[in-house]
Amino acid sequence: MVLTYYHPHWTGLTAYARRLAEGLVRRGHQVTVLTSRYWKELPKEETHNGVDIVRLDPLMRISRGLVMPAFPLVAYRLIKQHDVVQVHAPLMESPLITTLASSMRKKVVFTDHGDLVMPAGLFNQTVELVVTWLMTQALKGSARISIHSKDYADHSSFLNPFREKLAYIYPPIEIPLPITEEVAAWRSELQADNVKLVGFAGRFVEEKGFDFLLKSIPYVVQRVPNVKFVYAGDYNVVYESFFEKWSHLVERWRDNVILVGLITDAQKMANFYSMCDVFALPSRTDCFPSVQIEAMLCGTPGGHRHPWRACAGDGDKDGITGAAAG
């Protein structure tokens, strides 16, 4: 498996890759992950839950991508040792992987986690065009392309030319049951016993659309005065200063916004979902974000806002779902 970030990095993509890798190990397969050593504290090689991890030192960063000089040689060695190669995209090295694999007659499965959509600006848009072109070349050399849902594929101009290669596979979801007593204690700790909580989670980057949610606060407050928005995630993202851009709204509505930080413990994340009265997903681009399914599995309805439409989940606690989603 090849991807830019892997455990202990925490995103929906890395969680997907980890669950898949460890699941294959449990079925008796040998799995090696080739990834970046994005923190100097991480070992260059280790085995975690049966998965062999090889990390390469980056020379420089290009947006969220990392340039790793040793990548071609190490990728060649590992592809030669394995039977199947899986690419988790977006990945700017993906055409190199398919080229190397083809030279050794190895099959490549290209797993697309969503079309690459970068923020505005000449640099970001250039990165989007170049990396999308590179990944298109990789799609040509892939045996199969897995995507999380047919609905997303039907509306993706990136995937449309390769429909005969597509396989639609829902992402693996792992979330424990919430612990009622811990949920109640956490609400009390946040002084939120008698308020409605709108939860949202993920990296605070433009594609997640959290600016939509912050802008909606005055409208929600009009309808539900005793409401607070509680955010779980990393807002100090090194490759994008999106939180800084909208921090003035966080400050303006500080009495209605709670930041609980990044949650990497599965039980605490389940408790977070359960603590919320509704979960909001204002994403611009997500393909099939696991957070919406995790929230529902914890008994919390969700609202999902597309740029071109607004829709809410079936559950509606005191009218708050529609207000948050719209």
Burial-class residue 72 by CB neighbours within 10 Å (0-12, 13-18, 19+): middle
**Are domains 12-168 and 180-325 of this chain identical in fold?**
yes
In sequence order, what are the beta bridge partners of 293? none
pLDDT tens-digit readout, 220-275: 999 999 999 999 998 887 777 889 999 999 999 999 999 999 999 999 999 999 99
Query: What architecture is domain 180-325?
Result: 3-Layer(aba) Sandwich (3.40)
Confidence grade of residue 65 (pLDDT, cut at 50, 70, 90): confident
Give residue 10's pLDDT: 87
- CA–CA separation, 315 and 310 (whole Å): 15
Domain boundaries, the chain: 12-168, 180-325
Give residue 295's pLDDT: 95
Q: Which of 110-114, 254-258, 283-287 has the lowest mean pLDDT?
A: 283-287
Give residue 303's pLDDT: 56
Give residue 117's pLDDT: 80
Q: Which class does domain 12-168 fall in?
A: alpha beta
**Structure pTM?**
0.84
Look over the chain and give the mean of its residue pLDDT values, rounded to a whole number: 90
Q: Which of 254-258, 275-279, 301-305 has the lowest mean pLDDT?
A: 301-305
Give residue 323's pLDDT: 35
In the sheet with 84-89, reading across from the earlier edge strand, the strands are 84-89, 107-112, 144-147, 166-168
Cβ atoms of 231 and 260 within 8 Å: the answer is yes
